[in-house]
Amino acid sequence: MSISRREFIAGLVAAPALVGLTNKAPRPIAGGFVDDAMGVGHSLRDGRAVPHPRDRRRVHVAVVGGGIAGLSTAWELDRRGARNFVVLELAAQAGGNARSGENDVSAYPWAAHYVPVPGPRATLVRELFVELGLLRDGEWDERSLCFSPQERLFMHGEWHAGLEPEFAMSLGDRAEFRRFADVVAAQRATGQFTIPSALGVSRASALDRLSMDAWLREQGFTSPRLWWYVDYACRDDYGASLRQTSAWAGIHYFAAREPDERGPLTWPDGNGWITKRLLAKLGGYVKTNAPVSRVRREGSRWRLTSARAEYDADIVIWAAPAFVAPYVVDELRAERRRTGFVYSPWLTANITLERWPAERGSQPAWDNVIYDSPGLGYVVATHQSLRTFEPRTVWTYYHAFADLTPELARQELVRRDWSYWRDRILDDLARVHADIRDCVSRVDVLRL
């Protein structure tokens, strides 16, 4: 009996089919980029003409930016009895980083998705939260605090409860984590690290001139696990690597939180929950699709040119990202070339799952982080559900470009198409959920 090479190869191809290993056609996955107002933002930066408005209005206060800062400003103005003011938002939907979306499975956040339980010094936030019914008689609303289990970490092939990489830790690692906690406690005791940060010590700190990685080295920390943990914190909070983050900011992440907080506060739609409630009350003051293209002195007043109208205001409150101001405010033109803060771009994706994927180890948590992954992990939108069983879910996947400079990262974000990001995200998740592609029906991507 002899088999020709052709027959042999044909057999090889046919063999898997015989034992039922036929390659199924992959499940179609829908989705795309969501409107990220990138075009409007770039035209502001480039000074391109924005339609010239005919209306002219007179207001006492003009707030530029309808994100959480602009809406909180409106809340405070309204509380103080002001009525003659306007909030100008560039995008079609107010909320900025605290905006959210919703589909037939769940509401979900597009960016900011929690608020640490505000300490006693964050008086304004606490007042707002009392008004929203989150704080009653000194007790936080249990349904808005993040449910157990809060966090888990994937390492060595399975999920482990908690975010600190405690699994199979050496004695040396353990000692460093303890020492790190002591150092953080000592820094907290200095009183510089507060929320709101304005209450902390205002003079420039030596920690401002040091990067977080230099500080870690200076303190003699060498454990790779501790380095990963601190690096993750910087990527998660600032979108920046240890080298790009100042030691002051890096320590702030740990030292500014309440030491025994049982939180954070969170909702299926993330901080969109707050945005919706602020808008329900203050929506009348907010103008959307109203990018402000120019702000200049006009006598004793300020003149704002927006797509809808020109406003003459006694006071302008800038509640949009600070790096945009020099491109819009005539009086700040000189700041354009000055290197100050760099803003890192982000990528978030909302992933709709028709069923929960396979996994190993501890139960699904709210925040699910993969050790040694370039991504920041995913947050489960249905985690705050009161049901014992959720057949479908939405995950919000976060990615910060800490490995690239912000300029390169922005180019990358613009250059790549949706299918590239979909595959990158699903590849990352497939490391921990092998059958993720069989579960996902949509991947919607937002470039921030």
Partner 1 sequence: MNVALFLSVLAIAACGLIYELVASALASYLLGDSVLQFSTVIGTYLFAMGVGSWLSRYLTRGLVARFIGIELMVGVIGGFSSTLLFLAFAYTGAFRLVLYALVVVIGVLVGLEIPLLMRILRDRYAFKEVVSNVLTFDYLGALAASLAFPIVLVPKLGLVRSAILFGIVNAVIALWSTFLFAELLGTRRALRAACVAVLTILTVGMTQAKAITTLAEDNIYSDDVIFSRDTRYQHIVLTAWKDDLRLFLNSHLQFSSRDEYRYHEALVHPGLAALPGARRVLVLGGGDGLAVREILRYPSIESVTLVDLDPEMTRLFATHPLLTKLNGGSLTSPKVRVVNADAFVWLDQNTEMFDFAVVDFPDPNNYAVGKLYTTAFYRALERHVSRGGLFVVQSTSPLFARQSFWSIVETLKRARLKTYPYHVYVPSFGEWGFTLAAGADAPPYAPPGTVPPGLRFLAGPDVAQLFTFPRDMQAVAVEPNRLNDQVLVRYYEKEFDAINR
The smaller minimum CB distance to partner 1, of residues 239 and 264, is found at 264
The smaller minimum CB distance to partner 1, of residues 150 and 246, is found at 150
Whether residue 393 contacts residue 356, with contact meaning beta carbons closer than 8 Å, is answered with yes
The smaller minimum CB distance to partner 1, of residues 385 and 441, is found at 385
Token pair of 333 as six digits: 């033109």
Alpha-carbon distance of 27 to 210, in angstroms, equals 49
The smaller minimum CB distance to partner 1, of residues 149 and 196, is found at 149
**Smallest distance from partner 1 to CB 368, Å:** 14
**Smallest distance from partner 1 to CB 90, Å:** 36
Beta strand pairing call for 158-161 and 30-33: unpaired
The smaller minimum CB distance to partner 1, of residues 157 and 220, is found at 157
**Smallest distance from partner 1 to CB 438, Å:** 18
Footprint of partner 1 (CB under 8 A): 1, 142-143, 145-150, 262-263, 363, 386-389, 391
Residues linked to residue 317 through DSSP beta bridges, in sequence order: 63
SS3 380: strand
**Smallest distance from partner 1 to CB 388, Å:** 4
The smaller minimum CB distance to partner 1, of residues 341 and 389, is found at 389
**Smallest distance from partner 1 to CB 144, Å:** 9
Whether residue 104 contacts residue 441, with contact meaning beta carbons closer than 8 Å, is answered with no
**Smallest distance from partner 1 to CB 188, Å:** 22
Token pair of 281 as six digits: 């009350």
The smaller minimum CB distance to partner 1, of residues 61 and 146, is found at 146
Alpha-carbon distance of 181 to 142, in angstroms, equals 28
**Smallest distance from partner 1 to CB 396, Å:** 19
Alpha-carbon distance of 179 to 125, in angstroms, equals 32
